[in-house]
Amino acid sequence: MADIRTIVVNRSAYADNDAEADLLREYLFDHKTYLVNVMSSPGAGKTTTLIKLINSLKDQFKIGVMEADIDSDVDAISVAKETGVKSIQIHTSGMCHLDAGMTKSGLDAIGSNDLDLVFLENVGNLVCPAEFDTGAVLNMVILSVPEGDDKPLKYPLVFSKCDLVLINKIDTLEYFNFNFDACTDMIKFRNPNSTIIKISALKGENIEQVKTYLIDKMTEWRNK
């Protein structure tokens, strides 16, 4: 076996936007608007999951969606068309993430004060979005079966920051080598308090379970 060495080539130097994110959470609490930040790799199924979730929740809550992307509008158009809720596209002009200030600009643009629940679909990326607190009340990550069970090992920060982990595309399990036990163990190692739900957004499988989880969390937050 060849020799393995490890070198550290740089250190992260991101600005701290924690204070701004905390202020945004206070603002959201004052307006009783629950903000959910949704993160994943490109193509893990964020938009499909949101469409299914919103359609299951929209009779009970006033919902808005902010779709962040480098420069296309396809997700905001899909969500608006498939759900009918207020939808806005946020262009990041090449930026790999959203921070609290950018999120606040999006909320102002969508007019969030009338909304009970806003989903923020972050840029498809498992690295940068986790480094910037958006000010969301709940952080969710979607990991899809075809990506492999080792992602919580390789992308530690996003899994350590997430309250809810959805393992999506479970309808394709038989075609991929995916070890749920190993994956779950690593997610729990990253964050023992996280909740894991297996779903197939395409087939609608276990979307009701996610809906119940979100309603419970929202109710708890509103009553605190």
Residues in contact with its own copies by CB under 8 A are 1-12, 41-43, 69-74, 76-77, 80-81, 83-96, 98, 101-102, 105-106, 109, 123-128, 131, 144, 146-148, 150-151, 153-157, 169, 172, 175-176
For its own copies, the closer CB: 73 or 216:
73
Q: Which of 91, 58, 96, 94 is nearest to 75 (CA)?
A: 91
Task: Provide the b/e sequence for 82-91 (b: ≥16 CB within 10 Å).
Answer: bbebbbbbbe
Give me the least distance between CB of 98 and its own copies, in Å please.
7
Report residue 185 CA to chain centroid gap. Answer: 20
Give me the least distance between CB of 224 and its own copies, in Å please.
30
Give me the least distance between CB of 30 and its own copies, in Å please.
23
Alpha-carbon distance of 123 to 66, in angstroms, equals 11
Q: Which of 2, 20, 8, 34 is nearest to 119 (CA)?
A: 34
Alpha-carbon distance of 47 to 5, in angstroms, equals 40
Give me the least distance between CB of 209 and its own copies, in Å please.
23
For its own copies, the closer CB: 173 or 217:
173
For its own copies, the closer CB: 55 or 217:
55
CA angle 163, 217, 62 (to 5 degrees): 115
For its own copies, the closer CB: 19 or 74:
74
Give me the least distance between CB of 77 and its own copies, in Å please.
6
For its own copies, the closer CB: 57 or 76:
76
For its own copies, the closer CB: 80 or 196:
80
SS3 108: helix
Length of the chain in residues, anyone? 224
Cα dihedral 123/126/131/132 (nearest 10): 20
Give me the least distance between CB of 31 and its own copies, in Å please.
20
**Over the Cα atoms of the chain, what is R_g?**
17
